[in-house]
Structure 1
Amino acid sequence: MSPRPLTVAETRHLASLGLFVNEPEPVLICRPCGYALKPFGERVGRHLAEKHNVSKSERRGLNALVASIGLGDPNDVPLRPDGVLQHDALAVVHGYACLHCNFRTTSSDLVSRHLLKIHKWKDSRKSDGWQRNRVHSNVPLQSWSQNGMRGYWIVRTNTPMLAQPTYVDIRDPPTDASTTQRRALLAAAHNSERTLLGACPSSTITTATDSTADLALTTNWMRRTGWAEMFNGARRDLLVWMSQIPSPTASASYHFPLGSEDEATIAKSSSEDEKRLQYLLGAVDDLFDTCEDTIRHTDNSMRCWLRSQDPHRPYKAPFELVGRRATSQAYRRTVKMLLCFCVRLWRLPLGVRLSHCRKSLTVTQSRAIDTLWSDNVWADVDMDTSGRPVMEEDSDEEDETATDNESDSDDEPGEDLDKLLSLQQNTNNTNFEDRPTADQDNFGPVLGNNPPENAVQDLILQLLYFLFTEEYEGGRSGSTLLVYFCGVLGISPDGTVFQRPKNYTKHLSALIYCARLIIMEVLLPWKSHPYAGYPARPRRGQLDRLNEVRREKMCLGSQAPLGELISLRAYGRALSMSDGPSFRVNWSDDGKILRWDEHRLSMAQFRSLADDVLQRSDSAVDDLMYGWNPGCDLSKVRDRMANTSQGYSFVSEPANNLHEAYLNLSQQVSLANLDGLLSANGWVQHKVRRYLESSDTLLKLLLLLVYLTGGQAARGTELMSVEHQNVSSTSRGIYVYSGTMVIVTRHHKSRHATNNEFQVARFLPAAVGRLLYLYLVYIRPFSRMLCRVCLGADNTDSSVLFRPLLRPTDHWGTEKLSKELSRRATHLFGFTLSVRTYRQISIAITEKHIKQIRRPFNRLQDKGPDAPIESALAWQSGHRPLQRATTYGLDGAYPDSLQPALLQVYKWASGEWHDFLQLKSSTLEPPHSHPRQHNPSSQWSMIQRKTNPAQARGTR
């Protein structure tokens, strides 16, 4: 049965009501609803009235019209085949299609029932695969009926159907009752996760166990340290908190939440404890000042034994104090953290200590800390002072007299020292207690009710000596407080991860250094410590006393903390070589832009830094010279580099006639009509001070300028040690060589360890050399004259170049250079640039753009195909090139270590850097690139084979 044709008026009438007569399937489709209607009786009219609110007048005659067309029942109309284009009048729904048959549905429950009933597949834990692997999901479907009761077919939409299974978008799932419940459960789970993520990450990470028995999952570093087992189940963030140094401004109690608001579950350090800790830390500095003074009064031979790790032999070099103040402060800070950690751990309630720190204290450890904390000396200490203890009675002179007398005492240690050593040798008691009373221990002072001024220092010394020499409990190094604290130092500040050896071994070096100071202060102090019972060093038998403790407590493999620290540091240093550099850069494809971290720097910007500092320095010099330009021809300046007499420099060289040149500048500046420093009534003080301040400002610019333009960036400590004239013990670092200003640095950070000088010459560009020449010849001497005449300064002048004239005793550190560099970088680039970062960047640029520096060069090597033919000249004299260059035929006009050949190499290297910065300098060809047309390779190889038969056999 086919429907009759409709007239145009009938088609328009049905379309106005949202109805469509389909062909070739004879069904009537409601476009708004997207499915076919049954054409029997009054169903069509009732549907429009109930679903779409169509008025009765609009529906008049509709049912008769539908009946006259001859439409069929949608349930009897066959389905369309899969893959046809979608019907524009039918709704498109997304559902599921079975991979094994023609079953289609929009219900996930019906899919599960179909797979179980027809294909015998059950969704369970032991099922073979997932349900989504047996059906297509998110498939576009259409049907004649409203709910697809008679089935669906797959249609093609504007987006092609994927061949692989697709998945329903979880952002717009079906809104049935089941889905609503699932969404509510999922929302609750998400809220719980967001709460967890919003909390401190370490609260969840650090409580989980990190130990594993799988060797493949344990790095060599973690296997060696044993930290995973040591801190298994411990709150690592709490351990880090306990090692923090209290703030000097903190007055309230210091607390750490353990995850609950209950006061019983919060670790606290009271305000009284924090004040006492602050006082202790101030006394630590005084104690280490005393220890360093003891080292200064100790002979080299004894310090070689102190540094040795071998039980029977001294070390080849003596133990030395660190040269930099910043290093000393960093080492002392580590000891202060140790004291804070031990006291706070001891003050924790026993339950918190065991449950959150996983650490017990032995009776000996508790007594040692209690001796410091509960001593009667605290009754006489004024806690409001932040530095040295303030006693009721001042007895400086009496203590000095007692110290001098006790320097002649017997060779045997004091009574309390014997008690301390005997107590440490009897730590086999495995009983643990929270806080033993003071009358149970053998620690403490040997004096009565008259504590000396340095009593607190003596108590700290006694505790530190115990920590550094504590014997292992049960043969385990982790049983000692010091080794356990070293593990805490290996935890990151947030407590989440452990440090790699590259960032960790510095802490071990600090503790090893401080341990040697403390042990030396206890065994052989320069001045006695009467409150602790440590007498001053005896006249004889000092080595025996030192070795008695050193062999058992300070050597590699000893059953004391120092043995473990020395071993772990050596292992960490070897392992750190495989970690790679901590600073990495990336280059753009054209090599013109360098990137690191979140910063980027073009080569044009990099060059602009030196150019900007050069312009500012030139302007500052012009201002201080008051526009006067006396001229500068360095090619005519004579400088006897081998002259090491005190006070000599090219300025004082008689042939140059420059020693009084600054008086001409004095005349120009003092008698100037505008801004003259001298008036009819005398010197204008505010102008003089402004001139001196401008001179110091220029010195900062020159420091930065030399750093940027002298070649490869030097360390800050190297530039800060440059002297402009000879002194009694050292040679100057500024020379004029071959018409160029040269900066020579001899300081090196490993000089104390290697006992070797490492001399580096940095040739300055012509413009920079001119500014430094004007400063040394005119501005600096005139500024010194103003200090003497106007400010009453003495006649002494610091030989160090980069030191302020107004405060010659102040020592500029690397932070001064870094501050000036950051200021200029922020102005030009918009971000700060430290000295360390600039050194890394300059080296990266050198490796990328200055190719020739990569080429090997060794002028003293006479083996190999690239050896210079000049080696034959050394052979004729019966020497190897190295022996000849260092012993014979030295030019007396130059220092032995800076002969012309080496200076030419440095000049070429500096010139390559000047060319990259586009600064004018007299560059040289690379010293290894001389022509060899007179040295045929065949003849040279023949000569080498004759002089080195073994090498000839290897090449054959």
Structure 2
Amino acid sequence: MNISWNLHTGVQHLAPAERVAVATASQFTAENIDELLHYKPDYKLLICKDHGYALQNIDRHVEKHHSIAAKERKAIVRKYAQYPLLEPSRVPLPLPLGPRLEVLGEPIDAFLCEEEKCGFVSVSRSVIGQHCNKKHNWESTKKNRESWSKVKVQTFFATGGLQRYFTVHVTPDQAADPLVSVEDDADVTRILDECRRAKEEHDRDMGKADEMVARTDRTGWFNRTGWPEHLGRRNLAHLSHASRMPDGGERLLHQAVKTVDLVIEKSVAGLSSLAIETRRWLKSAKREEADVRPLARLQNPESQRRYAGYWKRFMCYCLRVVTTDEGRGARSCGNNSIDGSNEETEEDEIDEEDQTEDEVDEECQDLMRDARELFPWHGKQKEFARELWCALELEDEQTQVQKMLELSGSFIFQTVGDRPFSSALIHFLAVLGVDEEMNRLRTAGDFSYTSLLLPSADREKQDDAERKRFLRERRRFLADGSYSPMSTMISLLAYGKSIALNTGNSASTQWSRDTRVLRLHGRPIVLEKFKEMIHGVVAEAERVLWEDVMHTGLGERFVIPLDDIEDDVTFTKRGYSFVSRPGNGLSAGLDWMVGKLAKSVEGQRLRVNGRWQARAVRQYIRRVNSFLELLLFLVHTTGGQPARGTETTTARHRNGFLQDRNVFVMDGQVVFVSRYHKTQSLWDKPRVIPRFLPWRVGQLVSIFLAYVCPLREHLVAKVLGSGGWSDHVWAGANGPWETDRLTRVIVQESAVRLGCRLTTLDYRHAVIAIGRQVVGEQFGHGYQEQVGEEDIEEPEMELDSGLELQAGRTEKI
């Protein structure tokens, strides 16, 4: 290593001969040894500035490399004996791509494995190649010659076998911004056009239901309905459009709607001819008990028309599906197409001259394909639908009514067993569950008024023998006290839960007499350092965002006027956020980022000769992810009582397919609202908890979402092809980040800045203890110290407060 460090003159680059001269000429004593040795309290290491590495044996090092006499060596050893030193294997490493540690000398070249969550680093190309081959089954191809990228690294220890390399970000030499040529301007325009086309393609895809649904989006309602799985990757807008009432040109569908009115009026009018007992059974929803009141005509005619409207939509949906006839375009009966019109104007003929029949069919397929593939025909239903279609054109009104009754009855009197979506009615309920305006599925509150309007299919009946056999086998193998493995597990579960609920935890926190130091499981946490940790991470996140991600100098930084931002927390349209609201003026962030990259040296490496450089893009995305890790830490730690890890990592910045966003701007403050709770999928009662972020953290969130996020999404989706657009703030190729990512960054930051290694749960315990001491006992009200991240359920609190809400223990807001 051809460098030497001197505190008086700063960093100096010295040749090997000059370094030897400095070492031999220096006469260090216990008084001036600080000029040579430097103690790093964050890492508990003693580092030689001259050699740029940490020492394990002070006496041996200063004797061998600095020729210090024995008497002075003993004094030096005594001087540093008061400082605790960690073993090499226990020293925490700095965060990836952080600023270099100048005391360690110049960073060296190394290779970083590009597999996500791997992080393997080696200074040897052959070693990194062997690693990628053995661990990730990588093989060199023309398209993927290398599965690693070149990085700059440092290490605390130079001895063979003790090196643990960590990546650092090296700021390029200051240089004037290069002039942007006409070609550069054209390339910026091409990039923006490319981004806009990709965004338009993504917006079209947003019309489709998500194929995979995160467990945090699961509610009892969606679990019960099964809609997310049934409609996965289907175009919601096309399905909803297929169920619309007839358009102006759909003459036969208009006739079908009139026939539905006739059928329903005939059926309602016939109620008076039935015996009262018969109508009581018709009114009842129970299998073995008649209703007290008989079924009768609704008093409000408008209600009947409204209810009939859903059956009209179902008939229109059914007839549209059958007339497309498995992808061949509009099926006709005689000379009649789906619109029921034989008239064709001369202008229509001219417009269609350049459009082939296949293209017309393809348009119809695009609109009806999902409905056609999902519609579950059963028995003679398809045949009845075709007969009705022909009757609407060729037969009289009485025949049309009869055909409509036959088709309707075939849908009502059908069993489904354990396959509910084998019924066209159950499938149509899912279609009715599509909110076309908001481009998402309806929640239980929005849908319940709809689901009760349709006739329900009969449940499949089992015979007595099968029912008796099920009860017998259940008693033998599944019940408590049956001498079965299940019985044993039930007993152990009840016993363990009883102990957990009735046994208190031993004291895990203790305070010093002056209340300046908290001991968590015996580990000291200095309150002053705790505050410095948060402020330090905020400063580091700002540095990474502006310098490494946005390539912006100190004098060019700006803020977003949050006081002027308008946000509508009730608007649930998919894809909406305060960034996309036109009046907020945040929609030009992508243009600003692309222009900035075109002018900066670092940014120009991403795109050479009009082509994106995949390796440079991966390195840039890694720097963005480094910022996101710091932002994740700050959101988790600065919003009051910390949320559970899953609640933070699955936060959305725009409205999603099933769930609303979690990031809002209210009265000039950025707010994270968590709705997830571990019992949500069972009881549909998520905890709605607002957490207001400090101004500086709110600026980091808003600037990232408005400026960096659009570019990051485009690069990941269109250049790297490893994922794409995501509604989640923290997301990768496999969806939202796991909680272990949050735990890792908390461990790293607390170890370096606090001198005490904290996990996510440790941090939660520490914050509650500090809050109780500083704020008061009410800070910890509603919080139970637990032994794991998923805690034992507690009784609900009768009194709601902001602190209880942040503890995730209440429902109201």
TM more than 0.5? no
- TM-score, with length taken from structure 2: 0.38
- TM-score, with length taken from structure 1: 0.32
Pair member with larger Rg: 1
